[in-house]
Amino acid sequence: MYGLMEKPTASPLGAMLCFDVYATNLAFGRVYKPLLDPLGLTYPQYLVLMTLWPADNQSIGQIGGSLGLDSSTLTPLIKRLEAAGLVTRRRDPRDERRVIVSLTRDGRDLEAQSDHLHDCILRATGLDMEGATRLQQMLSRLRCSLTGTLPE
């Protein structure tokens, strides 16, 4: 009933691993917001750009697969990025059902402007690089177990 801990703490939420993950996600959002606001980005938009920076010209399906989002969630995000002049969308000439998302020059330029984010976030966690890497590996294994997918 209480998750992974043997006995409940003062609050039943304190014994729930899922609540700690949820609350940590919210805390990350509060740390990212002031860093992304000057760039005019939300965290989900930033994630879309992060998938495009190393490999431009991806289909909405490819981006969704990387982020674990379906197209109905992703399409409005990409439309807002397009309205901001950071990406373009076009139909794949080989398959009209596929929409290809490409970075604009402004979208590519944001990569350099966001370089400092990783260090800022790492500092905010209070972890060193080794600890952060171990935690990320554990969370990745947890996500794979919960989704029934292979480890990344």
pLDDT number for residue 1: 41
Indicate whether 2 pLDDT > 50.
Answer: no
Token pair in block for residue 140: 């990745």
Question: Across the chain, what does the average pLDDT equal?
Answer: 91
DSSP 56: -
CA dihedral 135, 140, 146, 151 (to 10 degrees): -140
pLDDT higher than threshold 50 for residue 43: yes
Confidence band for 9, pLDDT divided at 50, 70 and 90: low
Condensed to tens digits (0 to 9), the pLDDT of residues 70-129 reads 989 999 999 999 999 999 999 988 998 899 999 999 999 999 999 999 999 999 999 999
Report yes or no on whether pTM surpasses 0.75: yes
d(CA 104, CA 41): 15
Instruction: Kindly list the structural domains of the chain, giving each domain's residue range(s) and its CATH number in brackets, ordered by start.
Output: 40-109 (1.10.10.10)
Q: How many Cβ atoms are within 10 Å of 113's Cβ, its own excluded?
A: 12
Confidence of residue 13 (pLDDT cuts 50, 70, 90): confident
Q: Tell me the three state secondary structure of residue 127.
A: coil
pLDDT in tens, 121-140: 999 999 999 999 999 999 99
List the structure tokens of 53: 């920076």
